[in-house]
Amino acid sequence: MNLELPYRISSSVSIRQERFGALSYNQLSRRLIMIQSERIAGLLVTLESFDTLGDALAAHGITENDSTSLSALQQLEDSQVICVSVG
């Protein structure tokens, strides 16, 4: 995960916000992921409106010292829920 690059939700993924956070469904792998953080869920739906992942984190009050949130985002990248936005 690179905080200096723009990120987006992967094109095969749908995000549905819920009371507890959100559900992510990958239409290719058919994998359903529960996102239990409202803060991370909010970041995901606005992710593409920021120039970099670092800007998105700052706008949602997530610092580089917030290891829990950064770990969650790394897991979402590893699961192909989010990816670097190219072009």
pLDDT of residue 45: 93
Nearest alpha carbon to residue 50 among 15, 42, 70: 42
Given a cut of 90, is residue 77 above it in pLDDT? yes
pTM of the entire structure? 0.89
Chain segment 2-56, per-residue pLDDT in tens: 999 999 999 999 999 999 999 999 999 999 999 999 999 999 999 999 999 999 9
Residue 28 within any structural domain of the chain: yes
β-bridge partners, 84: 7
What distance, in Å, lies between the first and last C-alpha atoms of the chain?
A: 18
77 CB contacts (<8 Å, ≥6 apart)?
1, 7, 83
For residue 52, what are its two tokens? 């970099």
Contact 85, 7 (CB under 8 A): yes
CATH number of 45's domain: 3.90.930
Residue 1 within any structural domain of the chain: no
Residue 35 within any structural domain of the chain: yes
Q: 28 is in which domain, residue-wise?
A: 7-84
pLDDT of residue 41: 95
Q: Give the residue-averaged pLDDT of 58-76.
A: 94
Q: How many domains does the chain have?
A: 1
Given a cut of 80, is residue 87 above it in pLDDT? no
Residue 16 within any structural domain of the chain: yes
pLDDT of residue 86: 85
